[in-house]
Amino acid sequence: MNKKTISAAMNERPEHMPTRNNSVITYIAMFFWWLSGWRTVGSLPNEKKILVAAAPHTSNW
């Protein structure tokens, strides 16, 4: 089975993206991201506002 992939790079942050400077939570989140088998690909757009839509893969929700 292939690893799951999303379109965002965690190490590249656009200049318009706000930062919270909480490195402990960032590293914990990155650890769980790695543990789940997901990997990031691509980059986020450098826009002030973007819309991200997500939905489950099954129709039983």
Better pLDDT: 8 or 36: 36
pTM score, two decimals?
0.42
Query: What pLDDT sits at residue 10?
Result: 52
Name the residue among 43, 54, 53, 38 with its Cα closest to residue 16: 43
Per the CB < 8 A criterion, the answer to whether 9 and 40 are in contact is: yes
Write out the two tokens for 10.
């965690």
pLDDT digits over 14-54, tens only?
A: 777 777 777 888 888 888 888 988 777 777 788 888 888 87
